């Protein structure tokens, strides 16, 4: 059973592990995420809103997975209504996960969320799930930095970080490169020399969109917001290009083209940014006892 299933990254992980799946029940309300899931896995049972679910019917299921929306708790929200205590919509959504756990009583569970939640919420989640989270940076499994907490009763072992860089996953063919030579006199390199900013306003304003990163490094977190400007790639000689959709998929270790059924880049970027890094989930689920055996 997968709550807040998004684009069903849990299914991809289970499939990569070769786990035979009798039923995969998904709770998700976003029509575009559901479209991606249904295009790739028509056998997934889409059941809609978690608040309306009767989880008792899933008694006997082996595994419950899910990461409730982090937008209510995340630092990215700033002071604009960020929830820092076990109250509000963020907590109500998480509480549906706890309800599923109590009603369906699965053998294994995995719950994920963003590390930028308040300490109080983190402690309350640990109390509810009766375990401490494991912090994993997706950078250990992919070319992307993405720090997340994972609460689970699966006895997960240590892992060897993989040294995968953006240059290892970047597309070899692209058409969207452009020159920024006319802004050369405004160039500012970051201290580590890996990120270039330039000023298109002529007023000393360096916007987020006017940045490009060298390819021989771990890439920034693929976010659900700012879908239009997921970052520029520095190609050298004053040339840059936007990160492509297939690169975003590879940063999340998704199959290339997995989200291609969405024609809007904005929607596609959001679906990818909301998802999980599949290889992290695969690592965690690989320690379910039967798989080990």
Ligand X SMILES: C[S@@+](CC[C@H](N)C(=O)[O-])C[C@H]1O[C@@H](n2cnc3c(N)ncnc32)[C@H](O)[C@@H]1O
Question: What are the residues whose beta carbons fall under 8 Å from the beta carbon of 291, sequence distance 6 or more?
Answer: 17, 19, 285
What span, in angstroms and rounded, lies between the C-alpha atoms of 171 and 238?
Answer: 19
Indicate the residue among 195 and 280 with the shorter CB distance to ligand X: 280
Indicate the residue among 33 and 215 with the shorter CB distance to ligand X: 33
Residues in the interface with ligand X (CB under 6 A) total 20
Q: Is 145 exposed, middle or buried (0-12, 13-18, 19+ CB in 10 A)?
A: middle
How many CA atoms are closer than 13 Å to the CA of 100, on its beta-carbon side?
33
Among 29, 124, 131, 239, binds ligand X (CB under 6 A): 29
Q: Are strands 178-179 and 195-197 parallel, antiparallel or unpaired?
A: unpaired
Q: Is 9 in the site for ligand X (CB under 6 A)?
A: yes
Q: Are 188 and 211 in contact (CB under 8 A)?
A: no
| Backbone φ and ψ of 256, nearest 5° | -65, 130
What span, in angstroms and rounded, lies between the C-alpha atoms of 69 and 71?
Answer: 6
Q: Is 187 in the site for ligand X (CB under 6 A)?
A: no
Only one of the segments 21-29, 191-199, 208-216, 234-242 lies at the binding site for ligand X (rule: CB under 6 A); that segment is 21-29
Q: What does the per-residue mask of binding to ligand X show for 45-64, with x meaning CB under 6 A? A: ----xxx-------------
Indicate the residue among 26 and 180 with the shorter CB distance to ligand X: 26
User: Using alpha carbons only, what angle is made at residue 84 by residues 7 and 69, rounded to the nearest 5 degrees?
Assistant: 10
Q: How far is the CA of 170 from the CAs of 75, 173, 180, 285, in angstroms?
A: 29, 9, 21, 27
Q: Is 151 in the site for ligand X (CB under 6 A)?
A: no
Q: Are 11 and 255 in contact (CB under 8 A)?
A: no
Q: Is 231 in the site for ligand X (CB under 6 A)?
A: no
Min. distance of Cβ 251 from ligand X in angstroms? 14
Q: Is 150 in the site for ligand X (CB under 6 A)?
A: no
Indicate the residue among 232 and 274 with the shorter CB distance to ligand X: 274
What is the separation of C-alpha 250 from the centre of its chain, rounded to a whole number of angstroms? 12
Among 133, 231, 269, 275, binds ligand X (CB under 6 A): 275
What span, in angstroms and rounded, lies between the C-alpha atoms of 38 and 14?
Answer: 16
Q: Is 249 in the site for ligand X (CB under 6 A)?
A: no
Indicate the residue among 6 and 198 with the shorter CB distance to ligand X: 6
Residue nearest to ligand X (CB): 6
Indicate the residue among 36 and 196 with the shorter CB distance to ligand X: 36
Q: Is 19 in the site for ligand X (CB under 6 A)?
A: no
Q: What does the per-residue mask of binding to ligand X show for 78-117, with x meaning CB under 6 A? A: ---------------x------------------------
Q: Is 30 in the site for ligand X (CB under 6 A)?
A: yes
Q: Is 33 in the site for ligand X (CB under 6 A)?
A: yes
DSSP state of 10: H
DSSP-derived 3-state class of residue 148: strand
Contact positions vs ligand X (CB under 6 A): 4-7, 9, 27-30, 33, 49-51, 67, 69-70, 93, 274-276
């Amino acid at each position: 059973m997968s709550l807040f299933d998004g684009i069903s990254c849990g299914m991809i992980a289970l499939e990569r592990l070769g786990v035979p799946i009798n039923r995969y029940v998904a709770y998700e309300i976003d029509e575009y995420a559901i479209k991606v899931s249904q295009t790739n896995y028509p056998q997934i049972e889409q059941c809609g809103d978690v608040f309306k679910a009767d989880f008792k019917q899933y008694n006997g299921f082996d595994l419950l997975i899910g990461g409730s929306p982090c937008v209510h708790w995340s630092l990215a929200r700033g002071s604009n209504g960020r929830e820092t205590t076990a109250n509000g919509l963020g907590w109500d959504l998480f509480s549906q996960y706890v309800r599923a756990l109590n009603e369906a009583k699965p053998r294994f569970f995995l719950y994920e969320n963003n590390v930028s939640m308040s300490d109080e919420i983190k402690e309350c989640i640990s109390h509810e799930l009766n375990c401490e989270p494991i912090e994993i940076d997706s950078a250990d499994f992919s070319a992307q930095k993405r720090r997340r907490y994972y609460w689970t009763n699966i006895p997960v072992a240590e892992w060897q970080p993989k040294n995968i860089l953006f240059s290892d996953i970047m597309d070899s063919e692209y058409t969207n490169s452009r020159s920024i030579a006319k802004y050369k006199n405004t160039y500012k390199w970051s201290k580590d020399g890996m990120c270039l900013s330039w000023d298109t306003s002529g007023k000393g304003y360096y916007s987020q969109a006017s940045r490009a990163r060298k390819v021989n490094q771990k890439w920034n977190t693929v976010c659900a917001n700012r879908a239009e400007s997921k970052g520029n790639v520095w190609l050298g000689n004053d040339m840059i290009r936007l990160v492509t959709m297939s690169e975003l998929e590879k940063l999340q270790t998704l199959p290339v083209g997995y989200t291609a059924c969405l024609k809007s880049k904005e929607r596609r970027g959001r679906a990818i940014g909301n998802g999980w890094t599949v290889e992290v989930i695969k690592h965690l689920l690989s320690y379910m006892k039967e798989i080990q055996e």
